[in-house]
Structure 1
Amino acid sequence: MTSNYNRRQVAFGLTGIAFGGMALYAGTIHALGHKGASAAKATASGYGPLQADPDGLLDLPRGFSYRVISAHGDRMNDGLVVPDNCDGMGCFRLDDRRIALVRNHELRPESLKDGAAGKAGLRTGEAYDRLGSGAALPGGTSTIVLDAKSLAVEDQYLSLAGTIRNCAGGVTPWGSWLSCEEDVSRAGQDGLSQDHGWVFEVPVAHRGLARPEPLRAMGRFNHEAACVDPATGIVYLTEDRDDSLLYRFLPAERGALAKGGRLQALALTGAPADTRNWGTLDFTPGTWATARWIDLDGVDSPDDDLRLRGAKAGAAIFARGEGIWFGQGEFYFCCTSGGKAGLGQIMRYRPSPAEGQAGEADAPGTLQIFIESQDRTMFNYGDNLTVAPNGHLIVCEDQYTSVVDNHLRGVTPDGLLYTLARLRTQTELAGACFSPDGSTLFVNLYRPGKTLAIRGPW
């Protein structure tokens, strides 16, 4: 298990977090979403210029450091190994001393060698689906239990098995991780015995493999991520397709998603239904549109046409909805290839005071394009994102070109962008999330999979 600090001689900062505590480094920082401005090339970063990492992995501003706490191939406490393709992730407080990370592994059926049990595949324990050989599909989640102060790994184990391409997901206020399949394979296809394209719930307090029960009422589609409004228990879901929808799940019982509920899709009133702005600027960044929600039926969608039927009924269309995270009374989500330049957008949604209830139409929710990039050096293919304790967004870039490295980008509540980190190896950043006390940002490197802990003067 890799657990050494990197060689930069900088101390972890444990300063308190407050919005006013971050001083933007003198230089050119550009507002994209607040007034709908176009991006221009940035010349500085929010915490100062990046310092070259002597280990050649992750450049950070002075005063910040990272630690690799887990990596693909590390032996876990259950005897298995850490799977590869580390993607979405959430952090939870277990007790006064310990925290836990639940981490997705975006693995396909043909990727057994990259899974927790290697080429032979997992043969024992609960798994949602198995190949004809008896091996569980390698997709799923792993859980890391850490000492909250030292970040020492105390336990590590596989926590969901038998799924496909667990891409992102979301934390719940009741202590579980929603793991989403970005795949719509059908039973009988390539030796599969189950339909795929579901959300699975992984209770953080349960050690070992969670019961792999698909939350069918939350729809079958190319799931990406989820977030829960802590005030209402409503779940919002993104879909990674060029013509995706934004979904809302109204649970029959708060905190009991397996008991079913209603699935809806977002529509807009007085604004273009197509938010992608491909070719023309139809939906101006910074302006607010009024929301309404359309009931969906046939959410098990055997023909993978849920988004098509929703759009036909008037639902808004988004360009590859990906990471989504709830902040203070509103949530944000990335549209990876949205915008006139195709470099990405960040949407912001403010729920109605009567969200999902009678009277919602009298004071509806609203949607805004918060960020739309015109310059890849400022923002390029945002994927997973999180809301920091100071209200800033931290966005993981996911692009594979030889022109620009992937970065962690910061966005202030006013729409000012800055660069927080630069990844020096060609893979995507994913799974950004903060520890409950706000002192540590955790992030994944997708492949070869690594989980990093970043501390500094937040």
Structure 2
Amino acid sequence: MRRRNFLRVTVVGATAAAFGGASWREAFAATAQPGPSPYGELLAADANNVMLPAGFGSRVVARTGSRVAGTGYLWHPAPDGGACFADGSGWIYTSNSEVPLVGGCSAIRFDATGQITGAYRTLSGTNVNCAGGATPWQTWLSCEEVEWGRVFETDPFGANGATARSAMGRFKHEACAADPDHGFVYMTEDVSDGCFYRFAPATWGNLASGTLEVLCGANEATSGPVTWRRVPDPDGFPVVTRNQVSGAKRFNGGEGCYYAGGTCWFTTKGDNRVWAYNAATSTIDLAYDDSLVIGTPPLTGVDNVTGTAGGDLFVAEDGGDMEICIITRDGVVAPFLRVLGQGGSEITGPAFSPDGSRLYFSSQRGTTGNVLGGITYEITGPFRT
């Protein structure tokens, strides 16, 4: 008989402070459960076929193969992971392209009013760039989701060329998240027997060299202490990285990765889970598991994840109901938005503007169901802080 309660998330101290004093320990005394959204029910779809709560609106900012509004730049195919960066009084949204051989990523520049002022390519000639992560020093780590894939450090401002960061390991990379509090970059691996990694740069802010480690623990454990062991050969050849360390804990299809205030949240699509790694205590726990939901799970096909300064997580679906769901700081799971008429696609790249007032994301394959149908959206409204 499956457990439905008492899956603890030991997330306290710095995390609670970072999230406006909210106590995640109390919120996830049991794994997050369905409940009313703080934003209310979803209304009928708008002109862009996006269902949103009252007070919110959507805008299409880019379509694959079409020029980004006000620019001559053709938006890339299969938009995937993304992030926002402050740019003076405006901001930049960067987005990966999950296609073979040309891959890479692009960026859209916005002014303080949200007007698009530019769009450009920041990485080219790479392979199946899926997700990634932003660094505190304002670069974007674009990850190749292929065996022996690399991490590329890119400049979202378009001034500097991209650099492969091979010391971070060669494996089927998905997402990563920088932890400036402890000096690590965490990384997920998108295979059914994948691992969870961390990279410790020799010098924080310089990813050219450092130590790659893999999380170790019992495969059946969903909570408790874990350890880290060094990966002997980050090149992953002839023995792939995930098979080099005895005792490495396996995760079923690692996806999104997001760090805030002492906790790294990451998702696994094979079992529809959201995990929480507490960096201070070196423990893991479950924040969400659809098999432990009482009633119908509102969140399935878990994928990319991001969060707000107020302590809410926003989790995108690969399939499911084509939704972005919220997991509130009080442990409630509910739909925040739903895209209609795009059942052959997935939601990718959720990221908030620096002031938290706008949410960007993509439907990777749009209405066509193929990589040439990508649509990138902006959501505005009264996001809570």
> TM over 0.5: same fold?
yes
Question: Which residue of structure 2 aligns with residue 299 of structure 1?
Answer: 234
Tell me the amino acid that sits aligned with residue 348 of structure 1: A
Tell me the amino acid that sits aligned with residue 199 of structure 1: V
Structure 1 position 326 matched with structure 2 position 259: yes
Task: Choose which of 337, 341, 346 in structure 2 pairs with 1:421.
Answer: 337
Question: Which residue of structure 1 aligns with residue 221 of structure 2?
Answer: 283
Structure 1 position 145 matched with structure 2 position 109: yes
Structure 1 position 60 matched with structure 2 position 52: yes
Distance 1:167 1:291 in 2: 27
Tell me the amino acid that sits aligned with residue 252 of structure 1: A
SS of the aligned residue for 2:203 comes to coil
Instruction: Kindly indicate whether the alpha-carbon contact (under 8 Å) linking 1:233 and 1:255 is maintained by their aligned counterparts in 2.
Output: no
Distance 1:434 1:421 in 2: 15
Please show how residues 365-444 of structure 1 align to structure 2 within 5 Å. Answer: 365-374=282-291, 377-399=297-319, 404-424=320-340, 425-426=342-343, 427-444=345-362
Corresponding pairs, count? 351
Question: Which residue of structure 2 aligns with residue 248 of structure 1?
Answer: 198
Distance 1:436 1:38 in 2: 27
Q: 1:139 to 1:32 in 2, by over 3 A?
A: farther
Instruction: Kindly indicate whether the alpha-carbon contact (under 8 Å) linking 2:267 and 2:303 is maintained by their aligned counterparts in 1.
Output: yes
Instruction: Kindly indicate whether the alpha-carbon contact (under 8 Å) linking 2:52 and 2:337 is maintained by their aligned counterparts in 1.
Output: yes
Instruction: Kindly indicate whether the alpha-carbon contact (under 8 Å) linking 1:220 and 1:304 is maintained by their aligned counterparts in 2.
Output: no
How far does residue 304 in structure 1 lie from its aligned partner after superposition? 5.9
Distance 2:49 2:97 in 1: 21
Distance 2:183 2:72 in 1: 36
How far does residue 32 in structure 1 lie from its aligned partner after superposition? 12
Task: Choose which of 355, 366, 375 in structure 2 pairs with 1:450.
Answer: 375
Distance 2:230 2:35 in 1: 46
Question: Which residue of structure 2 aligns with residue 83 of structure 1?
Answer: 76
Unmatched segments (≥5 aa) in structure 2: 1-18, 366-372
How far does residue 211 in structure 1 lie from its aligned partner after superposition? 2.9
Q: 1:434 to 1:37 in 2, by over 3 A?
A: closer
How far does residue 44 in structure 1 lie from its aligned partner after superposition? 4.2
How high is the TM-score relative to the length of structure 1? 0.72
Tell me the amino acid that sits aligned with residue 366 of structure 1: T
Distance 1:178 1:395 in 2: 20
Question: Which residue of structure 2 aligns with residue 262 of structure 1?
Answer: 211
Distance 1:175 1:393 in 2: 22
Distance 1:381 1:32 in 2: 26
Distance 1:90 1:203 in 2: 12
Question: Which residue of structure 1 aligns with residue 39 of structure 2?
Answer: 47
Q: 1:64 to 1:320 in 2, by over 3 A?
A: same
How far does residue 324 in structure 1 lie from its aligned partner after superposition? 0.4
Instruction: Kindly indicate whether the alpha-carbon contact (under 8 Å) linking 1:396 and 1:407 is maintained by their aligned counterparts in 2.
Output: yes
SS of the aligned residue for 1:167 comes to strand
Task: Choose which of 157, 164, 169 in structure 2 pairs with 1:214.
Answer: 164
How far does residue 38 in structure 1 lie from its aligned partner after superposition? 8.2
Distance 1:158 1:103 in 2: 10
Instruction: Kindly indicate whether the alpha-carbon contact (under 8 Å) linking 1:46 and 1:419 is maintained by their aligned counterparts in 2.
Output: no
Distance 1:454 1:326 in 2: 22
Question: Which residue of structure 2 aligns with residue 347 of structure 1?
Answer: 275
Distance 2:104 2:48 in 1: 30
SS of the aligned residue for 1:51 comes to coil
Instruction: Kindly indicate whether the alpha-carbon contact (under 8 Å) linking 1:32 and 1:38 is maintained by their aligned counterparts in 2.
Output: no
How far does residue 20 in structure 1 lie from its aligned partner after superposition? 9.3
How far does residue 235 in structure 1 lie from its aligned partner after superposition? 0.5
SS of the aligned residue for 1:164 comes to coil
> CA offsets per residue over residues 390-411 of structure 1, 9 Å max, x none?
1100000002xxxx52111100
SS of the aligned residue for 1:217 comes to helix
Distance 1:238 1:297 in 2: 18
Distance 1:56 1:436 in 2: 24
Instruction: Kindly indicate whether the alpha-carbon contact (under 8 Å) linking 2:73 and 2:119 is maintained by their aligned counterparts in 1.
Output: no
Instruction: Kindly indicate whether the alpha-carbon contact (under 8 Å) linking 1:91 and 1:433 is maintained by their aligned counterparts in 2.
Output: yes
Distance 1:251 1:322 in 2: 22
Instruction: Kindly indicate whether the alpha-carbon contact (under 8 Å) linking 2:35 and 2:332 is maintained by their aligned counterparts in 1.
Output: no
Flag as ranges the 4+ runs of structure 1 deviating above 6 A: none
How far does residue 263 in structure 1 lie from its aligned partner after superposition? 0.2
Tell me the amino acid that sits aligned with residue 106 of structure 2: S
How far does residue 295 in structure 1 lie from its aligned partner after superposition? 0.6
The structure carrying a bigger strand percent of its residues is: 2
Tell me the amino acid that sits aligned with residue 301 of structure 1: G
Structure 1 position 70 matched with structure 2 position 19: no
Distance 1:243 1:46 in 2: 36
Q: 1:38 to 1:237 in 2, by over 3 A?
A: closer
Distance 2:248 2:109 in 1: 41
How high is the TM-score relative to the length of structure 2? 0.85
Unmatched segments (≥5 aa) in structure 1: 1-17, 22-30, 109-136, 185-195, 275-281, 339-343, 353-363
SS of the aligned residue for 2:167 comes to helix
How far does residue 303 in structure 1 lie from its aligned partner after superposition? 3.8
Cα root mean square deviation, aligned: 2.4
Q: 1:304 to 1:163 in 2, by over 3 A?
A: farther
How far does residue 436 in structure 1 lie from its aligned partner after superposition? 0.8
Report % sequence identity. Answer: 35
Q: 1:283 to 1:35 in 2, by over 3 A?
A: farther
How far does residue 442 in structure 1 lie from its aligned partner after superposition? 1.0
Instruction: Kindly indicate whether the alpha-carbon contact (under 8 Å) linking 2:35 and 2:333 is maintained by their aligned counterparts in 1.
Output: no
Distance 2:309 2:77 in 1: 29
Q: 1:161 to 1:304 in 2, by over 3 A?
A: farther
Instruction: Kindly indicate whether the alpha-carbon contact (under 8 Å) linking 2:201 and 2:211 is maintained by their aligned counterparts in 1.
Output: yes
> CA offsets per residue over residues 103-123 of structure 1, 9 Å max, x none?
101011xxxxxxxxxxxxxxx
